[in-house]
Structure 1
Amino acid sequence: MYITALAQRRIHPPPGLLQFAASKDEAVMYLSYWGLQRPPFENVGRPEFFFRSQQHEEALARMLYAVTQRKGAFLLTGDVGCGKSTVIRAMIARMAEMRIDLANVTYPKLSASDLLQEICHQFSSDCHDKLSALRGLRKVAQENHHRERHTVVVLDEAQVINDPEVYEELRLLLNEQDESGFLMTLLFVGQPELRGMIDAIPQFSQRIGIRYHLHPMDFMETARYIVHRLKIAGGSRPLFTRSAVELIHRAANGIPRIINNICDLALLLGMSLQAKVIDQDTVLRVLEEEGIVPHGQANPAPS
């Protein structure tokens, strides 16, 4: 943390920083200082903060297509912090307005039997073992289909699934289909290695109807992202200079989660310095104290 780094290096913090960083309540006091109504850079995937970059919009559109067209499975991958879970939350918000029954498994590192039972329980279907779970899920999918609803299962952090039996049981779920399409759609979300894991099982990989991979944002997307989050948080003016945004982009390598962390600390430090805007020097201080080296810049040689 910023305060810890200052203490370890015996550097005197700017006046007021310790008192503002002493507790969560005091830390968010920067909201009034910067004219904001709520924290703009929390790493919580609130749908209203969803930033519709071209690629995030494309990921959401493809996922929506997979569900509405009743595809068997959709695969969304991306590096840590690229916004996969944010896309999923935006999709879940959209599905709440549709004729969809949803199960959302946020950590699927379970045995095949336990995973099937977890999905079954989320659909409020009675089950006590793998066989009853399979029967229950087939019944849910068929009944939803007759009611003109669709059954969707989200498997977030799916790269933790390393048991081939789990993939085989999920594949068998996709045998439920009719002439109009699958009765159930599986949405797999995970880190890049998930693609290789799925491709290593051809009989399962062939069921993935649509795929999309999220890349880090470029500079212009990063700049729009920061403006967007400040606006949603109630901001009415630019708070970061262009040079500050350029440095943030390089340091975060376009990863939204890291951008959020840097911006949040920069606003806290900027308040303690009574700055009017966050400039490059303020961001540099945050990066130094957090031990972050901007992309493309070598680590300094040890003294």
Structure 2
Amino acid sequence: MDYLELYGLSEEPFGPALSERFYFESPQHAAARIRLTHAVCTMKGLAVLVGDLGTGKSMLARRLLSDLPEHEYRAALVVFVHAHLSPSVFLSRLARCLGVPEADSAAPPEDLLDQLLMHLMVEREAGRRAVVLLDEAGVLADRELRRQFRGLLSLEHDGERLITFVVVGTPELDDYLRADPALLQRVACRTTLFALESQGTREYIEHRLRIAGCNVTPFPAETCECIHGLVHGIPRLINNLCDNLLLEGCLSGRAVVSPQMAEEAAAALGIPALFPA
């Protein structure tokens, strides 16, 4: 018997994949989504979402993207795995994600900007606004890439801004922006995601279990409280710990997960080392 069968689940509730079906909207997530949506709908140019690792930034960004009507927006999610890129690679990747297939990373940055400008003008004529969600924005640590990024924010036609960026990153993103006052001044919206509070952790766990088909939670209130204390309300760590707890509960044949089990599983995962006293 696997833990799906034991706990009456139709799928893994705490898997690592960023499935929008499991999106949990706490009050702070709702407020952040409203602010960012307003920035996008009014084409503010640059909005910033900051949060520590594992606080749900990427999930929120994907939810925001999926909420945009396709007939009104040319929207793209761009993730740069490597922070050290040439300006041409940076611009060509953005252009291709926005539907410019001929964008060549070997082309000069000026040519790529011209290609992108022409494409965005065509999109605007068709009634679509361009939006880019730039996730894990470590590329902005590079001075030259920040300069190219400022150029993108200046793309306009007939007095209308042609593209808006929602930039997502860890608190280091604020350092990159402060290092470039000209870019910092262009930030029209900034919002922060924090770790969940105790009640939010319990609601988060129950929400994901419910989406996965669970009718009777194996996590009583005292275990949820213990989990919160162990992982400090960080959703990614909640997922890791709860997934392990369901497996351990299955192996021991327990229908209910205890606080002691949570402490033991957290220790096995090395979670206490993430929060030194």
**Aligned-partner SS, 2:188:** strand
Which stretch shifts more, 113-122 or 259-268?
A: 113-122
Residue 291 of structure 1: how far off its partner (Å): 3.1
Which of 253, 264, 275 in structure 1 is aligned with 2:254?
Answer: 275
Which of 92, 97, 103 in structure 2 is aligned with 1:117?
Answer: 92
Aligned position for 2:245: 266
Q: 1:132 to 1:297 in 2, by over 3 A?
A: closer
Residue 274 of structure 1: how far off its partner (Å): 1.1
The correspondence of residues 3-152 of structure 1 with structure 2, limited to 5 A, is 29-97=2-70, 99-107=72-80, 109=83, 110-125=85-100, 126-128=102-104, 129=107, 130-152=109-131
Q: CA offsets, 1:200-243, max 9 Å, x none?
A: 21111111110011111100100100000000001111210111
Residue 68 of structure 1: how far off its partner (Å): 0.6
Q: CA offsets, 1:172-216, max 9 Å, x none?
A: 122223577421001111110101211221111111110011111
Residue 33 of structure 1: how far off its partner (Å): 0.9
Aligned positions, number: 271
For the 8 Å contact 1:250–1:296, the answer to whether it is kept is: no
**Aligned-partner SS, 1:188:** strand
**Aligned-partner SS, 1:103:** strand
Q: Percent identity?
A: 33
Instruction: State the 4+ residue runs in structure 1 displaced beyond 4 angstroms.
Output: 178-181, 294-298
Residue 97 of structure 1: how far off its partner (Å): 4.4
Q: 1:173 to 1:291 in 2, by over 3 A?
A: closer
- Distance in structure 1 (CA, Å) of the matches to 2:217 and 2:158: 54
Residue 288 of structure 1: how far off its partner (Å): 2.8
For the 8 Å contact 1:247–1:294, the answer to whether it is kept is: no
Q: Does residue 249 in structure 1 map to residue 228 in structure 2? A: yes
One-letter code of the match for 2:91?
Answer: L
RMSD over aligned CA atoms reads 1.9
Residue 124 of structure 1: how far off its partner (Å): 3.0
- Distance in structure 1 (CA, Å) of the matches to 2:12 and 2:256: 17
Calculate the TM-score normalised by the size of structure 1: 0.84
Which of 167, 170, 193 in structure 1 is aligned with 2:146?
Answer: 167
Which of 147, 171, 176 in structure 2 is aligned with 1:197?
Answer: 176
Which stretch shifts more, 143-152 or 120-129?
A: 120-129
For the 8 Å contact 1:117–1:127, the answer to whether it is kept is: yes
Calculate the TM-score normalised by the size of structure 2: 0.92
Which stretch shifts more, 138-147 or 247-256?
A: 138-147
Structure 1 unaligned residues grouped into runs of 5+: 1-19, 21-28, 299-303
Higher alpha-carbon Rg = 1
Aligned position for 2:201: 222
**Aligned-partner SS, 2:17:** coil
